[in-house]
Amino acid sequence: QVQLVESGGGLVQAGGSLKLSCADSGRSLSIISTHVVGWFRQAPGKDREFVAAISLNGAVTSYSPSVKGRFIISRDSTVNMAYLEMNSLKPEDTAVYYCAARYGLVRNVSQMYDSWGQGTQVTVSS
């Protein structure tokens, strides 16, 4: 059952920016308000990989080395939303981006997340 909804993907030129959003699907009680949120991505023919994660109160963040310094993860508890701001995008950032949630601590392993969205496509042209 899809419990999260991503938005904000699209086509952008290299060097450009996009901001992804993650919201509760509305089919159940809020997940985002009580869980750690992570972003993962999957490019064609590749495994799903960790991008970033943020703790429940936003005080702890974690980034993949490939995006650190370019991407910013954040959350807004007043509206139960999470975001991934992506700057200085590169063609190798092209992938389907997923938000996910887990109860507990920030982790960078997809198998440790139990709520997922359906993903949003990000394409970076060279």
Mean pLDDT of the chain: 95
pLDDT at 9: 97
pLDDT at 1: 63
Residues 54-66 have pLDDT tens digits of 999 999 999 999 9
Residues 32-81 have pLDDT tens digits of 999 999 999 999 999 999 999 999 999 999 999 999 999 999 999 899 99
pLDDT at 32: 92
Q: Are 31 and 81 in contact (CB under 8 A)?
A: no
- The CA distance from 87 to 70, in Å, is 5
pLDDT at 26: 79
pLDDT above 80 (res 28): no
- The CA distance from 99 to 11, in Å, is 19
- The CA distance from 4 to 125, in Å, is 27
